[in-house]
Structure 1
Amino acid sequence: MKAILFTDGGSRGNPGPAGCGWVLLNPEGEVLTEGCHFLGLATNNVAEYTALIKGLAAAQALGVTELVVKADSELMIRQLKGIYKVKNEGLKPLFARVKELARNFRQVTYQHIPREQNQRADALANQAMDRQASFEA
């Protein structure tokens, strides 16, 4: 099964109260699942990676085999594509977890997108920060 995963994370302050959101769509654009998670005190980059980890886990649980990941974090996407090295010690275990989860799929493609194309995942990340709560649907 093919799917598209939109992810976003944010923090109010860096570090600050942080949240992440993800939306998994089928190729026709219908929502398969979505969710958000409040992280407590974290950096923006930690929130971005956590969103991707949560989204990958959700995709795996639904039996997705081919995944296109779309995120507005240029740093994270470039790190996952091998263009940038992961130098931050706090991100290294998150990067390793993403790579571990990605091995469960036949194919994962990473795409950087403009913020304007990531509105639902952004709204979910903000919802997590506003409510200091998490949910999956």
Structure 2
Amino acid sequence: MKVNELKEGEPFIPLGKWTLYTDGASSIEGSGADLIITDPQGTEYTYALQLEFPCTNNEAEYEALIVGLCLERKMKIPELSAFVDSRLAANQVNNEFTAREPSMLKYKQKVKKLMKEFKSCS
């Protein structure tokens, strides 16, 4: 059964690898995050968030990733490929860069914890 063939009352059973694209941004006008979640059939689900607290651009990038991972987890997606629009966040999560700032270390730890909740997450 494919995801888009569900009948009313049937449980949602995600199949295949899903993709998450995130982009966070911060400016003097405010901070926000954009998410695109793509199912295995190529259907895109887009989200735009306004962050209601001051943060740096890198923190906004991490916030976008965390929100995306939380959404996918709630949907019980088993396999996920996540792409972030931040070389710093990607390299910190992949252990290629060291997270030195306490806030970046906390974000990295949160992301790594969320990633463990998937059958497969890269």
Q: Which has the higher contact order (CA 8 A, sep 6+)?
A: 1
Give unpaired runs (5+ residues) of structure 1. Answer: 110-137
1:73 Cα offset (Å)? 0.6
Aligned pair 1:12/2:27, yes or no? yes
TM-score (norm 1): 0.71
Comparing both structures, which one devotes a greater share of its residues to helix? 1
Question: How far did residue 35 of structure 1 move?
Answer: 4.1
| 2:91 paired residue number | 78
What are the superposed Cα offsets for residues 34-85 of structure 1, whole Å, 9 maximum, x if unpaired?
A: 3423233110010000000000000011111110001221111111111001
Cα deviation, residue 102, structure 1: 0.6
Amino acid in structure 1 at the alignment position of 2:79: E
Gaps of 5+ in 2: 1-14
**Alpha-carbon distance between aligned partners in 2 of 1:17 and 1:33, rounded to the nearest angstrom:** 20
2:86 & 2:44 partners in 1: Cα distance?
22
1:41 matches 2:82: no
Q: What is the TM-score with the length of structure 2 in the denominator?
A: 0.80
Structure-1 separation of matches of 2:50 and 2:78: 24
Quick check: which has more Rg, 1 or 2? Answer: 2
Q: Percent identity?
A: 29
Task: Output the CA distance in 2 between the equivalents of 1:39 and 1:48.
Answer: 14
Amino acid aligned to 2:26: S
Give 3-state SS (helix, strand or coil) of 2:101's partner.
coil
Q: CA deviation at 1:32?
A: 4.3
Deviation at 1:31, TM superposition (A): 2.1
Is 1:39–1:47's contact at 8 Å kept on the other side of the alignment? no
Q: Give the whole-Å Cα distance in 2 for the aligned partners of 1:33 and 1:105.
A: 21
Q: How many corresponding residue pairs?
A: 107
Is the 2:35–2:68 contact (alpha carbons within 8 Å) kept by the matching residues of 1? yes
- Give the direction of change, closer, same or farther, for the CA distance of 1:73–1:45 in structure 2 (3 Å limit): same
Larger % of strand: which?
A: 1
The DSSP-based 3-state class of the residue aligned with 2:103 is coil
> Alpha-carbon deviation of 1:21?
1.8
